[in-house]
Amino acid sequence: MTHYDLAVIGTGSGNTIVDDSFSGWRVALFEEARFGGTCLNVGCIPTKMFVYPADLARSARHAPELGVDTAYDGVRWREVRDRIFGRIDPIEAGGRDYRRGQDGVDVFESHATFVDDHTLDTGQGQQVTADRVVIAAGSRVQVADIPGLDDVPFHTSDTVMRLEELPARMVVVGGGYVAAELSHVFSSLGTHVTQVQRGSRLLMAHDREISLAFTAAASQAWDVRLDRSPAEVARRGDGVVVTFSDGTEVEADVLLMATGRVPNSDRLGLEHTGVEVTDDGLVVVDEHQRTTVDGIFALGDVSSPHALKHVANHDAKIVKHNLLHPGDLRRNDLGPVPSAVFTSPQIASIGLTEEAAREQGVAHRVVRQDFADVAYGWAMESTPGEEFLKLVASEDGSTILGAHVIGPQASLLLQPLVQAMSLGTSPADLARGQYWIHPSLAEVVENAVLQLVV
């Protein structure tokens, strides 16, 4: 039985751990799918590369409102798709080839499962042992159970971006960030999108005001069906027909299931180990990213409630350090986690929502700044109430507890607030301790923060 110093399961952020610092270690690397994980191949990167042309297409339609005569004449879908994956696929292949040729690293292109705490079945008819194991197995698409779905062709975020043709009609099932981004992409490029959400609004995990504003904007851009769910799906000609719980029907060429993701912990044979898993499938880790078994670490989507690449990358840095320096462990103690939804309008968020503060009994105050009230907002003809920044702060205004943005470049506008919250910068110092470029869109942040200190 071959023995390794380290085994890493998954080549997303887990693949960033092993570098020259591990010279002299014998490493086993397991990957049953594409190198680079979800983000590179079917997640963050390709979706955002589709979002950019989608944003251009939508902007072309709206420019006449500003007196500029532009129009959207359609998309060369295959060119867009091939430009994106023409960059991504070589990166994936290059990463695989690099590891295959690396001294001291054995690549197993197969599914690994635990036999016991430090023994892995390689899926290739052999078992190996390892002193240390890193579980970086990520997550996978969760498809809702709908009557008839087994007999109907459907897509998920894993497959829909590689379609041969841009569909004329699409039904998107789901109300979360994946559904929001892909509904924007396809509707902007010319597909008639019908999005169905069982709840009363889209992006329900976000601040309520942000969620409501996005739901209103999305409803103007594509067909949004709320408070209902697919009751049945069936083939009809070359496409599908979706019957909703209210009895209405929609025909489509493509059915996209965007109903969430689940950790891959249930596919690893962890029941044969002492590794604990939560009820919702997350591998339990401590502040050092250690599991409940000595020598086994976990990182990323398989262990974090934040299914975000920047979180997984930070986890990997902690794991790398702690593998190399077991006597000087580093804690994973970053503050609140920021996130963004690259839809239209863009959304970004960090920290407490107003609703969470209220539910937790946190004394707080809320301020709000419309894009429409700053000069750059005037340039964009921003409409009051549609694009805004909302801050949740301590009652005395001395500490920012949460920030939520909806509007153009929301992810960039959030970053100075992420920095302030992470580094403990007071609203007074943030607002008055630096220049804010006039008349940039950053004045939205400046004016919001000033409301806390004036």
Beta partners for residue 270, in sequence order: none
In degrees, to the nearest 5, what angle opens at C-alpha 216 toward C-alphas 211 and 220? 140
Give the β-pairing of 2-9 and 27-30.
Answer: parallel
Beta partners for residue 393, in sequence order: 365, 400
Q: What are phi and psi of 252, to 5 degrees?
A: -150, 160
List of E strands, 166-303: 169-173, 192-196, 223-225, 230-236, 239-244, 249-252, 254-257, 261-263, 296-298
Asked whether 405 and 391 are in contact (CB, 8 A), the reply is: no
Beta partners for residue 406, in sequence order: 347, 388
Give the β-pairing of 388-394 and 364-370.
Answer: antiparallel
Question: 116 to each of 129, 133, 266, 445, how far by Cα in Å?
Answer: 9, 12, 15, 52
CA atoms within 13 A on the CB side of 449: 28
Helices (H), 63-100: 77-100
Q: Within 10 A of 124 (CB to CB), how many other CB atoms are there?
A: 12
Length of the chain: 454
Asked whether 260 and 157 are in contact (CB, 8 A), the reply is: no
SS3 labels along 304-351:
CCCCCHHHHHHHHHHHHHHHHCCCCCCCCCCCCCCEEECCCCCEEEEE
Give the residue numbers marked as catalytic: 438
Q: What b/e readout covers 210-247, taking b as 16+ CB neighbours within 10 angstroms? A: bbbbbbebbeebbbbbeeebbbebeeeeebbbbbbeee
